[in-house]
Amino acid sequence: MFRILKKRRLAYGTHDFWVEAPEVAQHAQPGQFVVVRIHQYGERIPLTIADSADDAIRLVVKAVGKTTYELCSLKEGDELADVVGPLGHPSEMGKFGHVMMVGGGVGIAAIYPIAKKLKDHGNRVTVILGGRTAEQVIMRDEFRFADRILITTDDGSLGIKGVVTDAMKKVLEEDTVDVAWAIGPTIMMKFCALLAKEYALKIWTSLNPIMVDGTGMCGACRVTVGGEIKFACVDGPEFDGRLVDWDELLKRLTIYQKEEKEALEKYLKKVGEPSWL
Amino acid sequence: MAVKIQPNKTPMKEQEPEVRIKNFNEVALGYTEEEAVKEAERCLQCRVPMCVKGCPVQIDIPAFIREIRNRNFEKAAEIIKRYNNLPAICGRVCPQENQCEATCVVGKMKDHEPVAIGRLERFVADWEAENVGLKLPKLPDKRPQKVAVIGAGPGGITCAADLAKMGYEVTIFEAFHEPGGVLIYGIPEFRLPKKIVKREMDYIRALGVNIVTDVVVGRSITMQEILDEYDAVYIGIGAGAPKFMGIPGTNLIGVFSASEILTRVNLMRAYDFPNYDTPVKKGSKVMVVGAGNVAMDAARTALRLGAKEVTIVYRRSEKEMPARIEEYHHALEEGIKFKWLTQPVRYIGDENGKLVAVECIKMELGEPDASGRRRPIPIEGSNFIMEVDMAIEAIGQGPQKILLQNFPELKLNKWGYIEVDPETCATNIPGVYAGGDIVTGAATVIEAMGAGKRAAKAIHEYLSSKVIGHKT
C-alpha cells in the first residue's frame, strides 16, 4: 500500500499529494508518470510525477472524473492500493540554451520538475503559466528559479489577460528560443504546437490519452505521431507536438465520455456535495 | 481385451449456450466423482504411457488416473502436484488435444476418443480444493541463495514454485496489481474463473514465494539492481504488446486490441461497471480479426457484453485456424459467426471519428508459406464493406519492450525475443534464464510452465555448482 504523507489544496479542485512509493521515488526522472489505482474497485489512471524526494513522490491532481474526485477526497495517512512506475521515457535533458516552459492548469505541475532540471543543466529558463483565473495558476511561487516568468489568465485576474499562446508569441517575438515544452489540457497543447510550428520551434508535449496498464500491453493510448502509430505509455509520453495528430487525440479522449459521466454522477449521488474540492 | 472401453469421453456438463452468453460464469461445470471414475476407467494404464510424452511437464498421467479409479482422489492430487503446480488451471486451458490426449492410445483406436485427461486433471484439482483445502508438500531446509523471477505469469510462477520446493528464497516481481499474468488479464472468467487463479496463487505463496506486485522491472527497479541482489534470475515477462494490422483508420473510436478489451474485462472487471470503476465499450455489431484463442475469447466476451452480432474474420480458412477446437465449438454454439478467407483492408469512420464499417477483401490460398500453411492471397476486386461499430484486432502480440530496453546486454533473436538454450532456458548472461512467450513468441500456458520447470532445474544446477558465496 502507498500512504499519503502530505496533502494540501492548491486551488479549487486541484490537490497536491506526497505519496510514499520508495521504488518509484528512487528511480523517477522528470517527464515520467505513474499509474495509480486507489482501491480494489478502482480504475488505473496515469498521473505525471511532479517531484520526488527520498521515498515519496509528488502528484498534483485535478478533479475531473470519478476517480480524481475520489482521490482528492483522501486524507493524509490514507493509502492508495497501487502506485506503479515511474513509467514512460524521461524528458530529454541537456544544455539547449534558452528553453521556454509552458504550463496550463494542472500541467503546471508537470512542467515543474522538467524546468527545474533544465535549469540545473545550465539553460536559461522562461516559464509561462496559464490558468482560467489567478487561483488556477498553481505553484507559481515554486518557479522562482526561472529566469523569467509570464502569467496568463482567461479573466485577467493575474498577469496577461489571455491564453498561454499569447505569452508564447510575446516571448518568441522578443527573443530566440531553442526548445520548448508545453503541458496542459490537450486543446492547449494543440495550439501551442501549432504556434511553435510557425516559428519552426521544437516543442515537447506530454500526451494524456486514455490508458489502462501504462506498460505497452493494451494499446488504448495509441496516438499518431509523424504519421506513425505510437503507444504514448511506452513510446512517450512526450512527443514533438508539431508531429502529433491532435484532432485524432481529442476525438479519442471522448471514447468513454458517457461512462465517465455515469460513473461521476453515481459517485456524487452516493457521497453528496463534493465539499472537499 | 478383457474390458470393453467406452468409445466416447464421458461428457462434462456445461452451461447451455443461450444462458451462458448472458453471464461471465464458467461454461464448463466439471465432473462429479462418479463421472470422473467412469472416465478414469477408460484409461488402458499403458506400461509405456504415450500420454506422458505429450505432456510438456511430464505428469505421471496413468498413476493419477489409477488413483481416481480407486477413488483415492487426494492421492491423485498429490501425484499431479509433484509435476504441476497449477493443475486446476491446466485442466481448464491446456490444449490437451495437441498434447497428452493427442498421444493417448485409446484415441488411436478406431472410432474412439482419447481419455479426457484434461477434464480428469481439473476434477482432481477442484476436488482437492473443495475437500482437502490447501495442502503443502514437505519443504526442505532453506538454502542460502536468492532467486528473482520477473513476471507472475504461468511460467514465472511454475519456476518460482519449483525453486521454493527446493528450498530457495524466491521473489516474483509483477508489474500488474494482481499476480497471474495472462491467467488474470487475458483468459476470461468464463473459461478460467479468477477465484481459481487466486487459489493457485495462495498455494504458491504458501510455498514461501514472495510475490511483489506493482513493480515494472526496468523502471521501478533496474535489471542491474536485481542482478546485484539475486544469485539467479528467471525472466518470464510474456509477449504482451498487442500488434495492429496498421491499416488506415486504426485509431478510429471503436477499434481496439483484444488485449485492451480483455484487460478491461478480466483484470479490471469492467463487465461489472459501474460497480468497478473501469468501463469497457459495448459494441452492437462487432468484428474480431484473427482466429486464435485470443480472438475466440474476445468474440465471446463481446457477445457477453451485449453485442447483437459478432463475426470473426480470418484471412485463412477453418483448417488453418490456430484456436483450440473446444473454444471454436463453444464460439459456434454461442452464435459467433465466421467469415473465412477474409482480410480487413481499411476502417471507415464517420465525421466524429467513430468506426462505422470495415472494408474487407476476399482471399484465396496459394502455396505453403514459411509456417507450412498455405499462404492467403488477396483476390483482386473482391472488396466488400461490412457495417460494424466495433472492431477488435486479435492478430498476435509482440515482446514487451520495457525490460529488454533496460537490459541491452541480453541477446535477442531476429524476432526480438530472448535467445536461450532450449534445454536449460539459459540466456547469454550467466545466471539469467528466460522462458515462455518472451522466448517463443505467443504460445500456450503449459509450454510456458514447461519452460519454467526446465529453468528451475537448470537454476538449481547452476547454483549448486557455484563455489562462490551467495549474495546478501
Determine the Cα–Cα distance for residues B152 and B256; give it in Å rounded to an integer. Answer: 25
The phi and psi torsions of B316 (rounded to 5 degrees) equal -105, -160
Between the alpha carbon of residue B254 and those of residues A256, B279, B391, B393, the distances in Å are 11, 14, 6, 11
Q: What share of chain A is helix, strand, coil (3-state, %, to 5)?
A: 30, 30, 35
Q: What is the CA B404 to chain-centroid distance, rounded? A: 22
What mean pLDDT comes out for the span B294-310? 97
Angle at the Cα of B243 from the Cα atoms of B241 and B245, rounded to 5 degrees: 170
Task: Report residue B469's pLDDT band, with 50, 70 and 90 as the boundaries.
Answer: low
Please determine, for the modelled complex, whether the ipTM score is greater than 0.90: yes
Residue type, B449: M
Using CB atoms, pick whichever of B244, B260, B402 lies closest to residue A215: B402
Contact (Cβ atoms closer than 8 angstroms) between residue A208 and residue A233 = no
pLDDT at B255: 97
Determine the Cα–Cα distance for residues B284 and B276; give it in Å rounded to an integer. Answer: 22
* Contacts of residue B126, Cβ cutoff 8 Å, sequence gap at least 6: B30, B88, B91
Residues on chain B touching A224 (C-beta within 8 angstroms): 251
pLDDT at A204: 98
Chain-chain contact of A222 with B263 (C-beta, under 8 angstroms): no
Determine the Cα–Cα distance for residues B462 and B159; give it in Å rounded to an integer. Answer: 14
Give the pairing of strands B390-393 and B285-289.
Answer: parallel
Helices in B48-148 by DSSP H: which ranges? 50-53, 61-69, 73-83, 87-93, 100-103, 105-108, 117-131
Model confidence at B2: pLDDT above 80: no
Model confidence at B466: pLDDT above 80: no
pTM across the whole model? 0.93
Report pLDDT digits (tens) over A33-77.
999 999 999 999 999 999 999 999 999 999 999 999 999 999 999
Report pLDDT digits (tens) over B174-202.
999 999 999 999 999 999 999 999 998 99
Chain-chain contact of A218 with B242 (C-beta, under 8 angstroms): yes
Residues on chain A touching B281 (C-beta within 8 angstroms): 255-256
Using CB atoms, pick whichever of B257, B278, B401 lies closest to residue A219: B257
pLDDT at B262: 97
Between the alpha carbon of residue A34 and those of residues A41, A132, B199, the distances in Å are 18, 27, 29
Chain-chain contact of A67 with B277 (C-beta, under 8 angstroms): yes
Contact (Cβ atoms closer than 8 angstroms) between residue B115 and residue B106 = yes
Q: What share of chain B is helix, strand, coil (3-state, %, to 5)?
A: 35, 20, 45
Chain-chain contact of B276 with A41 (C-beta, under 8 angstroms): yes
Task: Report residue B426's pLDDT band, with 50, 70 and 90 as the boundaries.
Answer: very high
Beta pairing partners, B368: B374
Q: Which residue has the higher pLDDT, A46 or B134?
A: A46
Contact (Cβ atoms closer than 8 angstroms) between residue B61 and residue B55 = yes
Model confidence at B1: pLDDT above 80: no
Q: Sort A94 into a burial class: Cβ within 10 Å, 0-12 / 13-18 / 19+.
A: exposed
Between the alpha carbon of residue B393 and those of residues B60, B283, B291, B334, B344, the distances in Å are 39, 14, 10, 20, 10
Model confidence at A233: pLDDT above 80: yes
- For B347, the 3-state DSSP assignment is strand
How far B350 CA lies from chain A's nearest CA (Å)?
Answer: 12
Q: Give the single-character DSSP code of B318.
A: G
| Nearest residue to A31 (alpha-carbon basis) of A83, A118, A89, A85 | A89
Determine the Cα–Cα distance for residues A220 and B98; give it in Å rounded to an integer. Answer: 34
